[in-house]
Structures are given as C-alpha cells and as structure tokens.
A and B are shown apart, each in its own frame.
Chain A
C-alpha cells in the first residue's frame, strides 16, 4: 500500500468533524445518530490504517514508515514542509489512540443517548481524535505544538460540554489555563531548540542532542521547558489541579481524553524528545523526581475522595507520575551504572518501560472510567456514599470494574502487574530512593481502587441519591426512582473488549517484544510462558504483590467486612484526613495566595495600574491621535474638484523636488 495512506489516519476524523459541523448538524439535526456513525466510521477506518501502519513499521528493518514529506509552501527557497514521523513509538500510540477512541465512541452512543448536544459531542470527539493523532504523527515540534494546542482546545470544549452548568464551565476554564501555564514552558523549550539548531524537525533535534550538538545549559533548559509542557498536559505536580475538576465533562470524555490519551501525551512528548533529556542529568532528575512525587502525592488524595470519578482522576495523575518516573529512572541508569550502560541504551530502556505502562494503563484506566459511566448511568450519581450493592444489579459492570482494578493494583498476571513491575525494577536498580516511594504508592493504589470497588459494588444499595454530582444528562426515561439496572449492550461491549485487553495487554512484552520494538533489547529470558511464571525467581515481584495484596485486604476489612470502622480511622488520623480531604489545600493555595493575593492584588493590580496609566495612556494616546488625525485629514477631502487637481499638481512638484534633493 502506498505510504501516503498514513495521512488519512489523522485526516479521516477531520473529515468526520467537518461533515458533522457543516452538513449533518445544520441539515440533518433530526437524525443525530448519523453524527455518531460518521465519527465511528472515520475512527474505525483510522484504526484499520493504524494497524496497517503498525504492521508496516514492524516489518521494516529500521522500524520506520517512510512517508514522503509534502512541501506545503516554497517561497523563495524558504520551504515549509509538512511531514509525518511514523516510527515504532508513533505506531504504538496510533493503535492505542484509535483503538480506545473507537471503543469510547461506540460506548458514547449509549451514554449520550438523548442528549440535546449529541451531534456536537461527536463532532468534538472526532476533532479531538484528529488532533491527538496529528500530535503523535507530527514530524516537527512546530506542528506538534499546533496539535498540542488542538487537543487542549478540544479538552476545554468537552470538559465544558454541559456549559450551562457553572461548575463545568469553571472546570473547563481551569483546565485550559493551568495547561497553558505548562505550554509556555513547552514553547520556550521549542524556541530554545530552534535557536540552537535552526530546525523544528524532531528527528534532526534528536540526532543533534545525541551527537552533543546541543549541550550544557541550553540542553537542560530546553528539556525542562518541554517537561513543563508535558507536566501541564499530564497533570504532574504542581500543575495537577485541573484534572480532578475536569471530571465535570461527560464520562466517556474523561475516559478517552483524561485517562487514556491526551493526558498521556505529556509522557509521549518526553519519550519522543527523550534524547534531549537523556544527556542532561539535571533534567532526568527533575523528570524522575516530579514523577515519583506526583505518584505518591496524587495517590494519597485518592484515598479519601468520595466521588468515584475523582478517585480515578487522582489515580490517573498518580499513574502518569509512574510513567514519568520510569522515563527518568531509565535515563538515569546510564549515570547510576557508572558508564557501563551507554546513554543510547538508557534512552531505549526509559522509553520502553515508560511507554509499556502507558500502553497498559490506557486500557484498564479507560475501562475504569467507562465503568464509572455505567454506574452513573444506573444511579445518576458519582458519589460513592450513595451507591453500594450494585453487584446485584450490574453484574457485568462489576466484573469488568474488578478486572480493571486488579490490573491497576498490579496483580499477577494482569497487564498492570507487568509494566508496574518493570518500573519498580528499573527504579530499584538505579534510583532506590524513588523505589520506596513507588512501593508505598503501590499500597495506596491497591487500597483506593478497592475502596471504590467495595463502596460501589458490595453491601446494600444506598439509594442513588443525586449527591454532589447531579447526573447532568437527566434524560427522560431515566428517573431515579426505580432500582438501578445494567447498562445497554452498546455500552457493555466496549467494556468487555477493554476488560480482555486489561488482562492480556501486558503479555506482549513477556518475551521482550514490546521493548525490542522500541529499541530496547532486554536480555533474553526465554519464551513467554517461562517468563509468565519465571518472573517469581526474583524477590521483587513478591514484595510488590504482597504490598498490593495488603492494600486490597485493608480496603476489604474497612469497607466490606467493616472490621475496622472507616470513620474511626478517619477520626484517629483526623489531621492527615483533613489534609488529604482538602487536597493539601492546593486549590486554596492557588486561589488564595497565587490568584488572589499575588496575581489579583499584586501583579494584576500593579499591571492594571500600569496598563491604565501607562499602556492605555500610550495606546489611547496613539489611537486618539490616529483617529483625530484621520478626522482632520478627512476634512481635506472636501469634494472640491479644483482642490484635488491642485493636490495632484503640488504632489508632482513635491516629488520632483524630493528626488532632486535626494539624489
């Protein structure tokens, strides 16, 4: 097949978006389902093409799909290229993004059924998918940045999908602004690289960094700038505050954008530009440190949240922290090993480990969110205090949710176990400090996700009171009065597919296939069956499994058997509980200190005064002068013909005199 087909991967969803906004919404609004079909068809086709791309990349010797670049504009020898970079990293992302997106779109047909914004929803989902695919395929940082902002925009639009709700509108604004903060760093990083190397081309920049053409402070600054962008998108500390609020969006949106794909774009970006990081020890330490800290910090807040989606949001932040830790630890391996591991291999190690967790996480976290959506569909609330006992009413949702939770907790042999284990091993080998942090996080992760499981599915049904979150789509026929019921099949099928993936997706790296595809050849450990069980020849898996099991058991004891009263524990550790419950007062800190005291009363007031007195003064002065001047000159246009003719004559003489004296 011709390689140009790769262009269709991201343009097909664009066509779907255009078709919906330009044709379907204006002319076929009475057939909202057509919009869903358009999006699903386009993404389905993109999925097929992604599989083709993956196979082609797998078969090519240098793991590259060479797509000829398009000359977008040639003006005077200054050429602007449009190109795609489809290597193994991209190919994996393509399959994940299109696959997950396809399942979420199918699911959305059930979840969004009857919503008045149905076509708008699918239009934006298509646009988001297009941007996300463009982001992973772009061959230059500049175009990547365009798509980067594109996914940010779609995220904004979809978080605020129910814009008539103030909380949703506020959350959308917050998400947009906080990520923008990181994006400034990203832009600064891009420009630093550009001014150093005079190119935006990703491959050229990677080569330049590896060859030492960019080095020292420039490299570190560029890497930290890029990481700032990645931290904003991936909700890393201290830019994490937007993600829990982003749960105001429709649940499938949270599932696709704020769990599986867009938030992982930050990790992808670091992996994509990893050579720039790997040659700066400082940058690697920042990445690993922020990652590990975010992992434990976010997990701790997840321990006490009552909103099931927020628990999952904290979990996402925490898992993204893991991925960052994996990248950083992998890169630091070169420095920690005292030179026995070359930097090139450390690069591929970091990328392989980080991307493997991203890959697995996409499936089980997406499934967890779809489960939340299914539960919400039945009960009309996200507040776990009003759920309980849903096992009886929604057996299939319960089953898939438990599978995903086991995978998230890292229980053998589910997918989460394999990638989390690799991260633990890497940090154990090279930066042991962060290993202990990661291990405590394993315990917390197991605890909070099974706390959610037990609160939601076991015990007795507590009424589905519309609590903190009123089900925003209170569609007719979904009265809260009767007992909860299982979701329609169109929602369950995608969940089933994801449940299978959550179990098996980790197995593809059993014989090191995934890693070697990304350029990291692990020492051969024999066939996959051997690895499946042989993993226990090492003590580490026992430690991590025992930790996770302890977490699950504690949750079981507290929320299922109630041997230990949760309220009593809360009272006993009341200061800690308060800190966690209030999310370390980070929001208040930002709102009160940063926004109110510093920005509003300090910087902005100062800026406003500066603006009002100086800038406005100058601007208004200029503006008034221009307009006044304009009014004055308008008077010169009297409509008097003689005057015009005289002006021509005078003008001619003046020009001649001008040339006479000038030359």
Chain B
C-alpha cells in the first residue's frame, strides 16, 4: 500500500476540504478560485510524477496506477481548470454558496479520477457514486425551476442507472465469485464457455453493466436525460458533465470490459458488437435530433451524444477485430482528450455569450462575429473541431479513431460514422454561418471576463496545437493505450 500512488486524488480532496472551510470565513471569489486552481496544480504535479512510474496495482489490486489511468486523470484535471475558470464569471448566480459549489466540483473530480484507476467492482461503484452525488447537487444548484428539475431528473435517472449497474455487477459476482477485474477474467475463462448463451447470467451481467455505464457515457437508449439536464444545469456544470464525467466513464468501461471480459475472444467479439450497434444508434440519434434544436445548450447536448457515438467506435474496435489492438485504446484516449478541450471551449464561449444576452437560443447568435469577434472566433474553432475539419484536434482525433477501427475490419462502422459526420456539419456550421453572416440583433458589443477569455484561449490553443502538431499527444496516448493493466 503506497499512499503516494493516491497523491493526485488525496491532494485534490484536501483542497476541497480547505475550500469548504475557507468558505466559512470568506467566500471572496479570488480566494476560492485561487485555492482551487492551486490544488489542481498540485494534483497535476503528483499525476505527472506517476506518469513516469511503472504501472502497478495498489490497495490489494483495487486500484491500478498505470499511464492509462494517469492520462484520464490529466483529462479530468484539464477539464477542472477550464470549468473553474468558466465558473469564475458565472458564480454570481451562486454567490451565497460559492465555496460549496467549488468544493462539490473538486470532490466530483476526485471521484472521477479514482474511477479511472479502479479495477475492482465495489471500488468502481463507490468512485462512480462519489462523483455522481456531487454532480446531482451541482446540476440543481441554481434555485430556479429548470435547474431544480434538471437536478431531480439527473438524481432519479442516475439512481435507476446505478441500480442497473449494481444488478449487473451482482450477476457477474454470482457467476465468478470475484470482484477484482483480473480475477473475474480468469474465472470466466475457467468456466470454459463456448458462447454468451451458455450462461445467461453472463449475458445479463454484461448487458446490465453496459447499461449502467451507458447512462454515464450517454449512449442510446440511456441518453434521454442528457438534453433536459444539460439545458437546466448551470452552464459550466453542463460543460463539465459533458467532458469529465464522460471521459472517466469511458475509462471505466474500457477497463471493465477489456480487463474482465477481454477473453476468450468470442466474448470480446460479442461486447464489441454490442458497442458497435449502440454506437450507430447513439451517433445517429444524436446527430439527427441535434439538427432540430433551437437552443444551443440542447444542441450541444445532442452533439455530445453524437460524439459519444464516435468514441464508441473506438470501444468496439478495441476487441472486435482479429487482434487486440492497442491502437484503438490509444485512439480512444486521444479522442477524449481532444473532445474535452473542444467541448469545454465551446461551453466557455456559450457562457460568455449568455452572460450578456441571457439567452441560449441559437438565433440570438446572429451577427456575433461583429459584436464579439474573438469569442465568435473561439466558438467557430471549437465547432469546426467538433465537426472534424483541419487544422484542429478534432480532425486528428477522428482520423485516429476511424483508422484504428478500419484496421480492425470495422469499415462498415466507419462509413456510418463518416455519414453521420456529414449530417453534423449541418448544425455545427449553421451556428458558424449565423455568427459571421447573420445580422446582429443589436450592435452592442459582448464583453467577457478575463477568466473566461483565459479559459477559451487555453482551449483554442490546445485545439490548434493538437491539430497542427498532433505528435505531442499521440505519443502520450500511445503510452497510455499500451500501459492498460
């Protein structure tokens, strides 16, 4: 047992406690945000140390500290920096309880970071709940009707999903008598089954666990909460939900399915097929419904569902091919990193616009290119990256993940995904067109705070950097993909 291996989580948790206590004395914005960012920085430094270490399991195999986990910790921390900066300008709405707001964000991040390391069913569940409960509260944080509704919906449906997950885990435990993923894998192999139907408990366990996480990663048909919650929740939290919680969710799904259900090969093929099917349904539903949205937060909600569909292409490629390819795992990590920057960036820009206009309607973005050229430029870059055009990270991410899938013989899946990308151009570029070619509603410029501008700049710089010099992150994600314990 080596506590140093938990240093990123522990330091972040400590920060959360400090912020909460500080809140009793003073809830001045600068202090709260400064301390939070400092905590993130410390946690980042610890994580960077772990990156250079050798992959190992700790706490009797409950947690694994490999580069794959650390990579996702980086993603969560990056999202955290952006969400803290994005909240700096937004928190006038939560002035009374500012410290609690940031504490909850930090605690949820601790949960997500643990989730990316967890390799034991109970630990997975506990980490998941640790992040989820904070997020339920955050979604309902604004005391208006929509936010409360969002919080309640998220809580109730999240509980359904938790129950589903637990139910599935209990089947797996019943079948194998183990909770640690590696032991589950060997137990399944010793059963010497020849197909999924040989033992229905395995089928039930597999599908229910997939369903429970399907909620988290907003896969069809578990995605229905997404638009309602995204629309009602405070916008920084929406951004955070759409990236950090999704990224950690994918990390956990990858670890569970790859570690516990990776062998024998027919089992891998089966869940690969499962995710391939869900992927098609998810991206198609996300993209098609997004075309009909009038509210930009709802549009982004469906867009993030569609993006989850693309990421599931990588999930399918992990095990569905003839060989178990690390390329798909690396591609998944890369995509999530790029998606985190891009989606968070887009939400930062949306926050900046709505702070001024108090509206989330897409028509109100008309002529923003003239009212706030830099913000509009930033949002354009993010949308272009989500669509996957050069010179952005989004293009590299898509090429990377689709290439991995094609190599695994999933050409048909990639064709569907590319067709979906074409559909997505409609709603992404509609916003871009409106911003630059539409007539402004008023000539009044849209000001934005330094924190928001910093956040947007960081996100856009990252998007461009990864788009132009992808090799930096490709190397890291390859290491991550190969290291999965």
Q: Give, as a whole number of angstroms, the nearest-CB distance from A445 to chain B.
A: 45
The contact size tier of chain B is 35 or more
Residues 406-441 of B at the A interface (beta carbon under 8 Å): 407, 423, 426
- Main DSSP-derived SS at the B contact region: helix
Q: Does A75 sit within 8 A of B, measured CB to CB?
A: yes
Q: Does B22 sit within 8 A of A, measured CB to CB?
A: no
Contact A75 B400 (CB under 8 A): yes
Contact A641 B399 (CB under 8 A): no
Among A73, A75, A634, A643, the most chain B Cβ lie within 10 Å of the Cβ of A75
CB nearest to B407 among chain A residues: A76
Contact B224 A655 (CB under 8 A): no
**Cα distance A76–B270 when bound, in Å?**
25
| Stretch from A194-202, A252-260, A644-652 contacting the other chain | A644-652
* Contact among A71, A626, A643, A656 with B207 in the assembled complex (CB-CB below 8 Å): A656
CB nearest to B224 among chain A residues: A644
B215: A residues at CB distance < 8 A: 648
Contact B222 A651 (CB under 8 A): yes
B404: A residues at CB distance < 8 A: 76
| Stretch from B45-53, B122-130, B234-242, B284-292 contacting the other chain | B284-292
B157: A residues at CB distance < 8 A: 641, 644-645, 648
A71: B residues at CB distance < 8 A: 471
Q: Does A468 sit within 8 A of B, measured CB to CB?
A: no
Residues 265-296 of B at the A interface (beta carbon under 8 Å): 270, 273-274, 277-278, 285, 288-293
Q: Does A62 sit within 8 A of B, measured CB to CB?
A: no
**Cα distance A655–B211 when bound, in Å?**
9
Q: Does A74 sit within 8 A of B, measured CB to CB?
A: yes
Q: Does A529 sit within 8 A of B, measured CB to CB?
A: no
Q: How would residues 76 to 112 of chain A score, 1 for a CB under 8 Å from any chain B CB and 0 otherwise?
A: 1010000000000000000000000000000000000
**Cα distance A140–B351 when bound, in Å?**
44
CB nearest to A656 among chain B residues: B207
Contact B285 A652 (CB under 8 A): no
Q: Give, as a whole number of angstroms, the nearest-CB distance from B470 to chain A.
A: 5
Contact B292 A630 (CB under 8 A): yes
Q: How would residues 647 to 663 of chain A score, 1 for a CB under 8 Å from any chain B CB and 0 otherwise?
A: 11011101110111011
Contact A647 B289 (CB under 8 A): no
Among B161, B210, B290, B471, the most chain A Cβ lie within 10 Å of the Cβ of B471
CB nearest to A643 among chain B residues: B224
Q: Does B321 sit within 8 A of A, measured CB to CB?
A: no
Contact B196 A659 (CB under 8 A): yes
Contact B203 A659 (CB under 8 A): yes
Given A71-B471, A647-B224, A662-B273: A630 and B289 interface contact (C-beta under 8 Å): yes
Contact B160 A637 (CB under 8 A): no
B407: A residues at CB distance < 8 A: 76
A651: B residues at CB distance < 8 A: 211, 220-222
**Cα distance A71–B196 when bound, in Å?**
45
Q: Does A631 sit within 8 A of B, measured CB to CB?
A: yes
**Cα distance A571–B104 when bound, in Å?**
93
CB nearest to A632 among chain B residues: B292
Contact B288 A630 (CB under 8 A): yes
Given A72-B471, A630-B288, A652-B208: A658 and B224 interface contact (C-beta under 8 Å): no
Q: Does A627 sit within 8 A of B, measured CB to CB?
A: yes
Q: Does B195 sit within 8 A of A, measured CB to CB?
A: yes
**Cα distance A638–B226 when bound, in Å?**
13
CB nearest to B220 among chain A residues: A651
* Contact among A627, A644, A647, A659 with B292 in the assembled complex (CB-CB below 8 Å): A627
Q: Give, as a whole number of angstroms, the nearest-CB distance from B276 to chain A.
A: 11
Contact A656 B204 (CB under 8 A): yes
Contact A652 B403 (CB under 8 A): no
B224: A residues at CB distance < 8 A: 636-637, 643-644, 647-648
Contact A637 B291 (CB under 8 A): no
CB nearest to A661 among chain B residues: B197
Q: Does B225 sit within 8 A of A, measured CB to CB?
A: yes
CB nearest to A645 among chain B residues: B160
A72: B residues at CB distance < 8 A: 469, 471
* Contact among A74, A630, A633, A637 with B228 in the assembled complex (CB-CB below 8 Å): A637
Q: Give, as a whole number of angstroms, the nearest-CB distance from B373 to chain A.
A: 10
**Cα distance A480–B92 when bound, in Å?**
64
Contact A75 B403 (CB under 8 A): yes
Q: How would residues 286 to 308 of chain B score, 1 for a CB under 8 Å from any chain A CB and 0 otherwise?
A: 00111111000000000000000
Q: Give residues in A with beta carbon < 8 Å to B.
A: 71-76, 78, 623, 626-627, 629-631, 633-634, 636-637, 639, 641, 643-645, 647-648, 650-652, 654-656, 658-660, 662-663
State the 5 A-B residue pairs at the shortest beta-carbon distance, nearest first.
A651-B221, A630-B292, A644-B224, A630-B291, A631-B292
Q: Give residues in B with beta carbon < 8 Å to A.
A: 153, 156-157, 160-161, 164, 195-197, 203-204, 206-208, 210-211, 215, 220-222, 224-225, 227-228, 270, 273-274, 277-278, 285, 288-293, 327, 396, 399-400, 403-404, 407, 423, 426, 469-471, 474
A sample of 10 inter-chain contacts (CB < 8 A) reads A75-B474, A626-B291, A631-B292, A633-B292, A647-B224, A648-B164, A648-B215, A648-B221, A655-B207, A655-B277
